[in-house]
A and B are shown apart, each in its own frame.
Chain A
Amino acid sequence: MWFDNIVELIFYLVALGIIAFLAIRIYRKQEVKLSKWKVIVVIIVGLFSFSIHFPMFKKTVELAILPLGVWILYFLLRNQGNSWKNYRPYALLGFAGNYIFLAAFFISIFIYHLIYDENELSHYISDISEAEIIPVHPDGEGNPQLSGDFMEIISKMKQKEFFSVVSYDDMFMVDDFQKENERFPYLLANNKPRWGSGADAVIYIEKDGKGILVNTEKRSVYFRSNEKVLKEKDL
C-alpha cells in the first residue's frame, strides 16, 4: 500500500488536484493549443528528479534536488522549433509538483496527529468483535478470554515505562535454553485498529492479564492497568 493512512491518501489527492488546477490555468493562458495528452506526459516526466531521502517524523521524506525530468525534456525538445518554449511551463510544473506533494505530506502528518492519538491504546484496539486470545507460549496457562468490559478497561490504561515493570534480566539474561518464561504469552488476534489510522499492530497480553504490549512496525508501546483484561473461559 502506498499510503499509511487515510489522511495521507486524502492529501495526496488534494496535491494532485492542485497540480491539475495549475496545469489547466497555464493551458488557458497559452495562445498555442497543445495536445492535452502530451501536456500530461510532460508534467509526469517533469516530476522525475534526483532526490535525497531522509527520515523525519518516523517516516521517509523525499526532497527533490535536481530536475532530471526537466533536463531530459529540454534536450529532447530544444531543436524542435518552439516546442521547448511551449512545454517548459508544464515541465517546471511537474518538478514543482514534487514540492506540492512534500507540503501535502507535512500537512497530512500534522492533521493525522490532530485526529489520532498514538499514545492511546484505543488507537490500536478499536474493534474486538472478531478478536480472540491465543496462547502463543507454554507460559500462557489455560484458555483465557477477553473480559466483558475489555474496551472500558483499555480506555483507562496508561502508557508505562517498559522497564519499570519488566526487569532487564528478563530481556538479557535469557540464554537459548531457558525458554520456560515469557512475560507476554498471549496474542490478541484479529483486532482492528481505529478506522483509517493504518495503525496495524501485533498485540500481546501479559501473563498477569494487566499489561498490553503493542508492537507496531517500528516500535513497541506498553500499557498497564490495575484490572485484569482477561478472564478464564466459562465452561
Chain B
Amino acid sequence: MRNKKIILGVVAVILVVLANIIYLAVNLFPDEFLSEGEAIKKLNQAESAIEVKTIQDVVFLDKQHVFMPFISADNEYGFSLWEWKNGKWRLSEKTVNSSINIVKLDESDPSTYYFVWNFPEDEQIKKINIYLIRNRSYRGSDEDFYYEPRLQMGASFNREKSYGVVPLSGGMLKVYKEMSGISKENGDMFSNVFSTNNELYFSWNMIDQKGEVAWIEQRNSSYGGDAKVMSESIFFEDQKDIEFLEWEEDAGKWQNTNKK
C-alpha cells in the first residue's frame, strides 16, 4: 500500500516535470511563420473593416513575435502583430493608424521595446524623429527641495520605406533604464527601486523637405486578437524647432541637431 503511494507520487512528479518541459519547448521553438496566403486569410477572418490585400514584409522582433506591415484593399497602410503561443502563430493585433506605436514584448525589459509604423508613401517626407522627453519640474518646501532637469533626447531615421521597425537602443535605452530603476537588476537586494518614469514619455514627428513638421491624415482602426502583446501609440510632437540629441550609431556619439 505504502509502496503504491510512493510510486504514484513519483509518477505524478515526473508527469508535471515533463509537461513543463514540453510546454517550454513548444513556446521556445516556434514553427516556421505562416505563408503569405495563410496570413492574409487569418488577417481577414479577424472582425474589422480592414481587408488586407498585400503583405509588405515579415519582420521578426524576436523568435516568438512578428511585425507584419500590410496594404489594404482601400489602399490603407497598416500593420499586424503576431505571437507564437501554445503551438500556434496567433494574430495579436491588426491596426491602421497614423501614429508611431510602441510595442513592449516584455514590459519590464526596455531592450525589448520596438517603435513600429506604417504610413502611406509620401515623397515629401524625408525624416522620422522619435523623442524621449521629460519636462522640468520643481517643488520645494521649508526643508527639502526636488528639482528634475528637463530631459530631451531623440533619434532620427531616414524614410526609405512606408513602414519601419526600430528598437529602443543606444543612449535613450540606457537613460530609460536608469530612470525606471530597471538597470539596478544586478544591484544589491536592498535596492530601493523607485520609478521616476511617470513623466517620461516618447513622442514622434515627421519632417518634410522644407524642414517643417509634416502632418498626415488621421486614420484609426484597430482590432485586438487573442495574444497579449499589443502596441500603444505615442504622442505627436508638433514643435518643429525642438532640439534634440541624436545618437549616431555608426559614429557612436551624440549629435545636437537643429541647433539655432
Q: What residues of chain A have their CB less than 8 Å away from a CB belonging to chain B?
A: 1, 3-6, 9, 132, 134-138, 140-141, 143, 162, 166, 171-172, 174, 176-177, 179-180, 182-185, 187, 189-190, 192, 195-200, 202, 204, 213, 215, 217-220
Contacts and interface: CB of A to CB of B under 8 A. Distances in A.
Contacts of A190: 174, 178, 183
A178 to B, nearest CB: 10
B179 interface: yes
B144 A218 contact: yes
B146 A135 contact: no
A73 to B, nearest CB: 34
Given A174-B136, A192-B187, A204 B193 contact: no
Nearest to A171: B138
Contact-residue size bin, chain B (C-beta under 8 Å from the other chain): 35 or more
Interface of A is mostly: loop
Contact of B175 (A5, A136, A217): A136
A179 B243 contact: yes
Interface stretch (B84-92, B227-235, B252-260): B252-260
Contact of B190 (A162, A189, A198, A215): A198
Given A182-B150, A187-B175, A189-B175, A1 B193 contact: yes
Given A162-B145, A179-B243, A217 B192 contact: yes
Contacts of B144: 218-220
Given A162-B147, A200-B193, A134 B188 contact: no
A134 B175 contact: yes
Contacts of B259: 138
Nearest to A192: B187
A187 to B, nearest CB: 6
A183 B151 CA distance: 11
Given A179-B242, A220-B147, A200 B175 contact: no
Given A174-B136, A189-B183, A198 B191 contact: yes
Contact of A137 (B145, B149, B181, B194): B149
28 contacts: A5-B190, A6-B190, A132-B174, A134-B171, A134-B175, A135-B171, A137-B151, A138-B243, A138-B244, A162-B147, A171-B147, A179-B150, A180-B260, A182-B150, A187-B175, A189-B178, A190-B174, A190-B183, A192-B187, A195-B188, A196-B190, A197-B190, A200-B187, A200-B192, A213-B149, A215-B148, A215-B196, A220-B145
Contacts of A176: 135
Contact of A184 (B135, B149, B152): B149
Interface string B143-186: 01111111111000000000000000001001101110101100
B189 interface: yes
Nearest to B170: A134
A5 B256 CA distance: 40
Contacts of A177: 239
Given A190-B183, A196-B190, A200-B192, A215 B254 contact: no
Contacts of A204: 149
B150 A1 contact: no
Contacts of A195: 188
Contact of B151 (A136, A174, A198, A217): A136
B103 interface: no
Contact of B243 (A136, A180, A187, A189): A180
B239 A215 contact: no
Nearest to A197: B190
A162 B179 CA distance: 22
Interface in B27-66: none
B130 interface: no
A68 to B, nearest CB: 30
Given A4-B192, A138-B245, A220-B147, 10 more contacts: A1-B191, A135-B245, A136-B152, A190-B178, A198-B191, A198-B192, A202-B178, A213-B149, A215-B196, A219-B146
Contacts of B174: 132, 134, 189-190
A222 B244 CA distance: 26
A50 to B, nearest CB: 27
A195 B188 CA distance: 7
Contacts of B253: 143
Contacts of B184: 200
Contact of B188 (A140, A166, A196, A213): A196
B220 to A, nearest CB: 27
Given A143-B254, A180-B243, A200 B146 contact: no
